[in-house]
Amino acid sequence: MSLAEPLAPARLGALRARAATPAWLALPLIAFLGVFYLAPVAMMLARAAGEGDWAPLFAAIENQVAQRVFLGTLEIAFVCTLATLVIGYPLALFAALAPPWLARLAIAAVLAPFWSSILIRSYAWMVLLGREGLVNGALGGLGLIEAPIRMLNTTFAVYVGMIHIMLPFMILPIYAALKGIDGRLVQAAENLGASTASVLRHVILPLSLPGVAAGALVVFVLSIGFYVTPALLGGPRDMMVSMLIAQEVDLYNWDLASAYAGGLLVLTLLIVAVASRFVDLGKAMGGRK
Amino acid sequence: MTDPSRLGAPVRFEGVGKRYGRSWAVRGFDLEIAAGEFVSLLGASGSGKTTSLMMLAGFETPTEGRIAVGGRTVDAMPPAKRDIGMVFQSYALFPHMTAAENVDFPLRMRGRPKAEREAAVAKMLDIVGLAHLADRLPSQLSGGQQQRVALARAIVFEPPVLLMDEPLGALDKHLRATLQAEIKRIQARLGLTVLFVTHDQEEALTMSDRICVMRDGAILQVDAPETIYDRPADTYVAAFFGESNALTAVPEGPGAVRLGPVVAPWPGAGPAAGALEIAIRPERIAIADEDAPVPPAHVAVFATVRETTFVGDRRVYLAALDTGEAVQVNQPLADLSGGHRPGERVRLHWATTAMRGFVDGRAA
Ligand SMILES: Nc1ncnc2c1ncn2[C@@H]1O[C@H](COP(=O)(O)OP(=O)(O)OP(=O)(O)O)[C@@H](O)[C@H]1O
Ligand SMILES: [Mg+2]
């Protein structure tokens, strides 16, 4: 049989393409990041290390409040990721299956919040969820509640605000992955006897997983560093790492703030590293092999 | 379908048509396929072959007409319920499943027990010669290997009707012949009804019980391979299968036509007036020395050899008749002796029964 080994030519091509890529095209970006990002981060990490005695770092690690805040932050990020996935996947699927005009409408609706800033959207939630807010007003008007419910400055409000803001970051990569699925595969599955549920489970779901992974990673990483929304909508118990850092900065505790920030950075890098072991991030973010 | 070992179901297209926008991809498609019959669809690109298969598989809804499988109309039946195996022109393998998982898919969807599935998949992969690549993903297989996985996946659940859209297009000649034989064997053993699309006339001739030639969405002729080759319904079909010489003739009284300087007996009625196109296969023409005797019931004309080409099992001559018309002659070679050189005067002759007449492109 004279069938060529299929892998060899493709590999060679990829190597050649890589060798020919001019690395200096990345120089402006590297210079920018070096001055405005890497240098400050290095200074911050040096601060956290505290002139070699590691005292600020130990203080940060041993601080019980900080421990609780880090765990709480991870919990909020996790719940937000899960919630946006559960809410976002069906919508992405709907948009991917809908006729073009309806799909455009759905995606426009998903993107609409980007026209206003996160700050404004968070204030909007304050208006909606406050004691005299629209939600309480409506519920009271309908006679469903007697006294206003306390919603603002609760964990509930943090979740509502953050899930709302994070949804597009989950929906868009999933939608892109779903749109990339070859319709003929669905036909083939049906031809081979698959019910609609089986087509979803065995063909569409597995082929959309790179999009799910990308969306989940983006939402999780954005969530653990989030500041504005939890600060405005949460109560005193809903402190996140970013707020903890801001608090220490306000108190001129630069060493401790640096240690917390370093911890957050390491945590984020760790998550990205673990995620990249399971998914081809370049591909999931829309690149092609 | 009384014999349980014979799986095949009859298929019937009745006046089926499919319109896209304002143009018809398929029109007036009438075809009856018996249970266990192997029918090939043959035609130029865009002639409506894939569209016909897609309507039978349930992925396109006919604009008009009716399709029945096993005597039951399937027009309202979703594709998953039709139990029709299909090899897609683009393979359509699931990229996230290995070769074995792809082949297993239809069995899994039918809820067959695991042990039975594993045995069936292993056997099927063995038949298509891919047992050693069972755990590869489609992206790690060559085009021909992918095509064989698609074939295995369509056959493994032994569907009563099997549709194949150029299933062997990407294979080299040797593998192609092996799989042609394998498909025929499986089909004959299970008694499957097969509708097979191909661009390759030789493949259609060797594999089919009947061949359906299509052009511009319409059926030109449906017949057994011998009939298609020997009695093509029109010049298009004649040109599609093998080579053919076209000579112009005029009627010469009843029962005769004039071909240049010679008058040949013509059994058919022929046109009352006007020209008749005579088609003769190159292998039916004999080439001989100028003064050689002509067998009885043969038509003979003089010609000059223009080119001669040696093709292994035969010599191909291009000769010019005295009328100026060019004629190709295929001379089978029992041995390499003899042969005629360019410029040589020769006598071409053929049996009167080797001539086929066409008027306005249709068989006369
Ligand atoms: N979805 C579609 N929309 C519009 N026109 C179509 C569509 N599908 C097929 N056609 C047209 O219908 C005609 C028949 O197409 P079909 O795919 O059946 O051809 P085919 O015989 O399978 O050709 P090939 O040998 O190239 O595969 C073509 O003219 C094609 O352009
Ligand atoms: Mg086609």
Q: State the CATH number of the domain containing residue A276.
A: 1.10.3720.10
* B171 close to A (CB below 8 A): no
Q: Measured from the CB, is residue B138 less than 6 Å from ligand 1?
A: no
How high does pLDDT run on average in chain A?
A: 85
Q: Whose CA is nearest to atom 27 of ligand 1?
A: B45
Sheet containing strand B345-351, strands side by side? B286-289, B345-351, B298-310, B314-321, B326-332
pLDDT (0 to 100) of residue A8: 47
User: pTM to 2 decimals?
Assistant: 0.79
pLDDT band at B256 (very low <50, low <70, confident <90, very high): confident
pLDDT band at A3 (very low <50, low <70, confident <90, very high): very low
The chain B residue lying nearest A208, using CA atoms, is B96
Closest atom of ligand 1 relative to the B53 alpha carbon? 18
Q: Specify the DSSP element, H or E, that contains A155.
A: helix A155-179
The single-letter DSSP state of residue B133 is G
Phi and psi angles of residue B361, each rounded to the nearest 5 degrees, phi first: 85, -15
Which amino acid would we find at residue B161? V
Is the pLDDT reported for residue B361 higher than 60?
yes
For the beta carbon of residue A90, count every other beta carbon within 10 angstroms: 12
- Are A1 and A101 part of one and the same domain? no
What does the alpha-carbon distance between residue B263 and residue B83 come to, in Å, rounded to a whole number? Answer: 58
Tell the residue number behind the tokens 């010599």, with chain if given. Answer: B315
Please provide the DSSP assignment of B3-22 as one string.
Answer: STT-----EEEEEEEEEETT
What does the alpha-carbon distance between residue B52 and residue B16 come to, in Å, rounded to a whole number? Answer: 9
Tell me the two tokens of residue B114: 């695991």
Tell the residue number behind the tokens 């093509």, with chain if given. Answer: B232
SS (H, E, C) B205-256: HHHCCEEEEEECCEEEEEECHHHHHHCCCEHHHHHHCCCCEEEEEEECCCCE
pLDDT (0 to 100) of residue A187: 93
Residue A289 within any structural domain of the chain: no
- Are A12 and A97 part of one and the same domain? no
State the average pLDDT over residues A14-28. Answer: 68
What does the alpha-carbon distance between residue B256 and residue B278 come to, in Å, rounded to a whole number? Answer: 13
Interface test with B, best of A191, A201, A204 (most B CBs within 10 A): A191
- All structural domains of chain B with their residue ranges: 11-238, 243-363
pLDDT band at B5 (very low <50, low <70, confident <90, very high): low
Residue A218 within any structural domain of the chain: yes
What does the alpha-carbon distance between residue B111 and residue A198 come to, in Å, rounded to a whole number? Answer: 12
- Are A104 and A166 part of one and the same domain? yes
Is the pLDDT reported for residue A20 higher than 70?
no
Tell me the two tokens of residue B202: 């030789």
- Are A180 and A39 part of one and the same domain? no
Give the range among A88-97, B254-263, B319-328 with minimum mean pLDDT: B254-263
Q: Whose CA is nearest to atom 19 of ligand 1?
A: B46
**A194:B84 CB<8 A:** no
What does the alpha-carbon distance between residue B212 and residue B195 come to, in Å, rounded to a whole number? Answer: 10
Q: How many domains does chain A have?
A: 2
* B176 close to A (CB below 8 A): no
pLDDT per residue over A93-152, tens digit each?
999 999 999 999 999 998 888 888 888 989 889 989 988 888 888 988 888 888 888 888
What does the alpha-carbon distance between residue B215 and residue B44 come to, in Å, rounded to a whole number? Answer: 7
Is the pLDDT reported for residue B2 higher than 90?
no
pLDDT (0 to 100) of residue A21: 65
Give the range among A92-96, A185-189, B5-9, B245-249 with minimum mean pLDDT: B5-9
Residue A13 within any structural domain of the chain: yes
Q: Which ligand is nearest to the Cα of residue B19, counting in written order?
A: 1
Is the pLDDT reported for residue A58 higher than 90?
no
Cβ neighbors of B130 (< 8 A, separation 6 or more) are B99, B145, B148, B149, B152
Give the range among A28-32, B107-111, B332-336 with minimum mean pLDDT: B332-336
Per the CB < 8 A criterion, the answer to whether B86 and B152 are in contact is no
Q: Residue B157, CB half-sphere, CA atoms under 13 Å: how many?
A: 28
Is the pLDDT reported for residue A2 higher than 50?
no
pLDDT (0 to 100) of residue B263: 84
Domain B243-363, CATH: 2.40.50.140
- Are A32 and A170 part of one and the same domain? no
Using a 10 angstrom Cβ sphere, with 0-12 exposed, 13-18 middle and 19 or more buried, the burial of residue B280 is buried
Is the pLDDT reported for residue A266 higher than 70?
yes
What does the alpha-carbon distance between residue A77 and residue A159 come to, in Å, rounded to a whole number? Answer: 9
How high does pLDDT run on average in chain B?
A: 90
Phi and psi angles of residue B262, each rounded to the nearest 5 degrees, phi first: -105, 155
Is the pLDDT reported for residue A14 higher than 70?
no
User: Which pairing describes strands B210-215 and B193-198: parallel, antiparallel, or unpaired?
Assistant: unpaired
**pLDDT over 90, % of chain B:** 57
**A195:B80 CB<8 A:** yes
pLDDT band at A1 (very low <50, low <70, confident <90, very high): very low
Using a 10 angstrom Cβ sphere, with 0-12 exposed, 13-18 middle and 19 or more buried, the burial of residue A271 is middle
- Are A93 and A150 part of one and the same domain? yes
Tell me the two tokens of residue A166: 């994070």
Using CA of residue B290, residue B291, residue B296, residue B302, what is the dihedral sign? positive
Sheet containing strand B64-69, strands side by side? B23-33, B11-20, B64-69, B72-73
Containing structural domain, residue A39: 1-48
Q: Which ligand is nearest to the Cα of residue B199, counting in written order?
A: 1
Pocket test for ligand 1, best of B51, B86, B89, B197 (most atoms within 8 A of CB): B51
Comparing C-alpha atoms, which of B6, B34, B41, B7 is closest to residue B207? B41
Q: Residue A147, CB half-sphere, CA atoms under 13 Å: how many?
A: 1
pLDDT per residue over B189-223, tens digit each?
888 999 999 988 889 999 999 999 999 999 999 99
What does the alpha-carbon distance between residue B239 and residue B45 come to, in Å, rounded to a whole number? Answer: 16
Per the CB < 8 A criterion, the answer to whether B46 and B23 are in contact is no
- Are A34 and A61 part of one and the same domain? no
pLDDT (0 to 100) of residue A285: 59
Give the range among A73-77, B104-108, B186-190 with minimum mean pLDDT: B186-190
| Between B339 and B106, the higher pLDDT residue | B106
Task: Report the residue count for chain A.
Answer: 289
pLDDT (0 to 100) of residue B324: 87
State the average pLDDT over residues B97-113. Answer: 96
- Are A39 and A61 part of one and the same domain? no
pLDDT per residue over B23-66, tens digit each?
999 999 999 999 999 999 999 899 999 999 999 999 999 999 99
Q: Whose CA is nearest to atom 4 of ligand 1?
A: B20
- Kindly give the residue spans of alpha helices, DSSP state H, lying in chain B: 49-57, 99-109, 114-127, 143-155, 173-190, 201-207, 225-230, 235-240
Closest atom of ligand 1 relative to the B41 alpha carbon? 21
Chain B residues within 8 A of A283 when measuring between CB atoms: none
Phi and psi angles of residue A253, each rounded to the nearest 5 degrees, phi first: -85, 70
Is the pLDDT reported for residue B319 higher than 60?
yes
Per the CB < 8 A criterion, the answer to whether B55 and B61 are in contact is yes
Cβ neighbors of B207 (< 8 A, separation 6 or more) are B38, B40, B180, B183, B184, B196
Beta bridge partners of B316: B309, B330
What does the alpha-carbon distance between residue B254 and residue B193 come to, in Å, rounded to a whole number? Answer: 46
- Are A255 and A205 part of one and the same domain? yes
Q: Measured from the CB, is residue B61 less than 6 Å from ligand 1?
A: no
pLDDT (0 to 100) of residue B239: 83
pLDDT (0 to 100) of residue B344: 92
pLDDT (0 to 100) of residue A286: 54
Q: Measured from the CB, is residue B201 less than 6 Å from ligand 1?
A: no
| Between A4 and B100, the higher pLDDT residue | B100
- Are A154 and A253 part of one and the same domain? yes
From residue B183, give the alpha-carbon distance in Å to each of B7, B131, B220. Answer: 15, 17, 26
Domain B11-238, CATH: 3.40.50.300
Is the pLDDT reported for residue B17 higher than 90?
yes
Of A6, A190, A194, the CB nearest to B142: A6
Comparing C-alpha atoms, which of A49, A88, A122 is closest to residue A214? A88
